[in-house]
Amino acid sequence: MSGRQMKCPKCLETVTAPLADPATPTERPGDTMFCPKCGQKNQENNFRCTQCGFVLHGPPQPQYVAVDDGTLGGLIPHRNPYALWAYYLGVFSLIPCLGLPLGIVALVLGIKGLKFARQNPDTQGKVHAWIGIVLGSLCALANILVPAMSIGIATRTV
């Protein structure tokens, strides 16, 4: 309203509104806030109080909400214990002497893990179950065939 002709609310005479001081910014009622520490009047967008330096606004908060769904990022299917055990036993069946029993158990648990994942789709773990099935069966087969082949070769040479 600065510089405009208007009627005075008290005397109803036409007057010119005074010009705003260019050194002070124009303020609207919602543009100011008071420092909770010292009571100094500050602009709403000030980060710190102009008098005492108190932080008026905290750091900006992230716009996303992190939700912990308990799946460890989907990497470990902890809700499907059959698939998880099949995976670990399939990996440990690579150990030469333990390959046969661990491979058989990994194969059985992998099949159970696939069935469990089909019945409960939110549990995941199909990949872990398949790794347990493939690794377990290959290692069990290798632990059966390698000794049998070595015995057959040994008996042929004698």
Q: Over the stretch 137-149, which tens digit does the pLDDT of each residue have?
A: 999 999 988 887 7
Residue 45 shares a structural domain with residue 103: no
Judge whether 154 and 107 are in contact, CB under 8 Å. Answer: no
Residue 52 shares a structural domain with residue 113: no
Return the number of other C-beta atoms located less than 10 Å from residue 98's C-beta: 14
Q: Which two tokens stand for residue 149?
A: 């082949």
Cβ contacts of 107-111, under 8 Å, gap ≥ 24 = 107/132, 107/133, 107/136, 107/137, 107/140, 109/82, 109/83, 109/85, 110/82, 110/83, 110/86, 110/136
Provide the pLDDT for residue 74. Answer: 62
Residue 63 has pLDDT above 60, yes or no: yes
Confidence of residue 115 (pLDDT cuts 50, 70, 90): very high
- Total domain count, the chain: 2
Provide the pLDDT for residue 39. Answer: 84
Cα gap 35→52, rounded to integer Å: 9
Q: What is the percent of the chain with per-residue pLDDT over 70, rounded to a whole number?
A: 77
Of the candidates 108, 74, 96, 75, the one whose C-alpha atom is nearest the C-alpha of residue 142 is: 96
For residue 105, give its domain range. 79-157
Residue 56 shares a structural domain with residue 85: no
Average pLDDT, stretch 64-82?
69
Summarised one tens digit per residue, pLDDT across range 15-55 is 776 666 555 555 455 578 888 888 888 888 888 888 898 88
Q: Which two tokens stand for residue 99?
A: 């390959």
Cα gap 115→111, rounded to integer Å: 6
Cα gap 144→129, rounded to integer Å: 22
Residue 90 shares a structural domain with residue 153: yes
Q: How confident is the prediction for the chain on average, in pLDDT?
A: 80
Residue 25 lies in a domain: no
Confidence of residue 116 (pLDDT cuts 50, 70, 90): very high
Residue 79 has pLDDT above 70, yes or no: yes
Pairing relationship of beta strands 32-34 and 5-7 according to DSSP bridges: unpaired
**Residues counted in the chain:** 158
Residue 100 has pLDDT above 70, yes or no: yes
Residue 55 shares a structural domain with residue 90: no
Residue 158 has pLDDT above 60, yes or no: no
State pTM to two decimals.
0.51
Cα gap 157→88, rounded to integer Å: 39
Average pLDDT, stretch 90-115?
92
